[in-house]
With several copies, the nearest count.
Chain A
Amino acid sequence: MSSESLIAALYVFALAAFLGYQVISRVPPLLHTPLMSATNAISGISLVGSIVIAGSGHGTVATILGFVAVVCSTTNVVGGFVITDRMLRMFKRKEAPKK
């Protein structure tokens, strides 16, 4: 990794950190559980790295590692999103005030 790319990465990291703080801190407690599963799904992004490794044929070992990585992260991605959707579909607005 060159120093330039390190620096660029640091900028992205710093900005993402701020953004993360700003965005997440605005999520109401009501949605904290969906938030957890949503971020799980998003953290499945390591799939991107896994795919490249599983495919780049750097010997059997690397391929196997990559393959397992792909399985794990795909599970996260799919599982995470499915569950989040399932949860969110459960949150309903009051039909009409009953009192």
Chain B
Amino acid sequence: MQLRIYFIEFSYLLASILFVLGLKGLSHPETAKRGMHLAEFGMTMAIIGALMHFEIVSYTWIIVGLLVGSTLGAAMGVWVPMTAMPQRTALSHAFGAFAAALVGIAEYYSYTHGFKPIVQLGHLTMSAMGFEIMLGALTTTGSLIAFGKLQGIVPGKPLVYRGQNIFNMLLLATTIGLFIYLIFVPTAVIPFYLMLTFAFVFGILLVLPIGSADMPVVMSLLNSYAGLASAATGFVLSNNVLIIAGTLDGFSGFILSVLMCRAMNRSMTNVLFGAFGSAATVAGGEGEHGEMREVSLDDVAVQLAYAQQVVFVPGYGMATAQAQHVVRELGDTLEKRGVTVKYGIHPVAGRMPGHMNVLLAEANVPYSSLYELEQINPEFPTTDVVLVIGANDVVNPDARDNPNSPIAGMPILEVDHAKSVVVLKRGQGKGFSGLENPLFFKPNTGMLYGDAKDTLTKLVSAVQHA
């Protein structure tokens, strides 16, 4: 009996430690795999521990649930393409938060329907439970909307109507009001379910007005909410492994969103409450200046073929065009010809942290040839050709030169210092920030229009025959 408790607690403690070790492993690609195996082992221990609990009277539904979940999870894990990562992440936030919310509801239900002594439903428990349920609920629906937007099911462009902010604020206020009431009167069932519903609704209204471009930041925040929800569950069940894992999760989400903002230089507040507005509406930008020089594919091929050093700067466009494999092909072809090929990766290129790294890794580009902002910027002056593949904002010199630009101060890849720049894009389309990009008008910049994938495929063969 006593022994069993010890075993359970021990397995939880071990799990917590293994989770921390697992995340520590992620500090280097060499140790990352081992780290994950530790974390997986930790999770197994935690599950075994949970299965040992005395309260458990029947295992049927547990086992069915585990089986169904594993099948779904495995399927997801195997089939989801790397390019759909953002959607998948959003979806899994929804799942995680929903689970947390359900646990909270079930707990409350067991208290109010006499399965657990109602007297034990004290103020403290209720506050923790309230947090768990509110965070869980709003994160669930919020993440679902985010998923919809990223998947294109829900219209990506911000849905805005007059008095929206006021309404959202009021809704939030009511929800919190109910929460506070519940803390003092935990047994008030109707307020409880009202609060629950409102939280669900609030999640929707919170994310709907946000442009799909802003999703990554929102998602990271939802991530940390989901984490905090699990942590709150831990407080309710006074279960430490839940608290620890939840907190770690919450922090990673928080830190990632901070990093993203810094790299996009938006203030944290702007993001925390920017959720009530939308970046896409910033837009503007001061029309054409000068003209763009279009270059022919063959010229570019020759340039590349006879260059000393070429730097590829991939961006969101590479992701949408699924061009990562062709990029790698072109890289190999050039290296075979003795050209030094490097990849310049901006921290917020693409639409999620590390987006470009994963895509290129998928295309077997060794991470040793991916260079971060600080490493690659000094190299541009000695670079013959920079190939900008569907990147825009991350190479926008205005961020550096024009203090009035909305993205002023955002660190950029200074490709304009290179001897010559070739930009691959489909047309006049703007980047995520919706700004004009002076780079395209510089004398040493040439535009090569067309879908990145097609263009690159053509380039490969052209280079081979150059």
From B247, which residue of chain A is reached at the shortest CB distance? A16
CB proximity of B295 to chain A, nearest CB, Å: 26
User: A71 with B89: in contact, given A56-B55, A83-B80 (CB under 8 Å)?
Assistant: no
Distance in angstroms from A14 CB to nearest chain B CB is 6
Inside 8 A of A93's CB, which chain B residues have their CB? 29-30, 366-368
In contact, A9 and B53 (Cβ under 8 angstroms):
no
Which chain B residues in 332-366 approach chain A with CB under 8 Å? 335, 338, 340, 345, 347, 352-355, 357-358, 361-362, 364, 366
Q: How many residues belonging to B are interface residues under a CB distance threshold of 8 Å?
A: 127
CA distance A35 to B224 in the complex (A): 13
Flag if A1 contacts B366 (CB, 8 Å). no
Q: Interface size (A, Cβ < 8 Å)?
A: 92
B223 sits at the interface (CB 8 A): yes
Is there contact, CB below 8 Å, between B249 and A46? no
Known: A31-B29, A77-B73, A98-B335. A48 touches B47 (CB 8 A): yes
Interface of B is mostly: helix
Residues of B at under 8 Å CB distance from A?
Answer: 2, 5-6, 9, 12-13, 15-17, 19-20, 22-24, 26-30, 32-33, 36, 39-40, 43, 46-47, 49-51, 53, 55-59, 61-62, 64-66, 68-70, 72-74, 76-78, 80, 82, 85, 88-89, 92-93, 95-96, 98-100, 102-103, 105-107, 109-110, 113, 115-116, 122, 124-125, 128, 220, 223, 226-227, 229-231, 233-253, 255-256, 259, 335, 338, 340, 345, 347, 352-355, 357-358, 361-362, 364, 366-370, 372
List, sorted by A's number, 9 A–B pairs whose CB atoms are closer than 8 Å.
A1-B128, A16-B247, A35-B353, A43-B96, A44-B99, A49-B103, A56-B55, A78-B73, A78-B74
The 4 A-B residue pairs with the shortest CB-CB distance in the complex, in nearest-first order: A74-B69, A82-B77, A78-B73, A70-B65
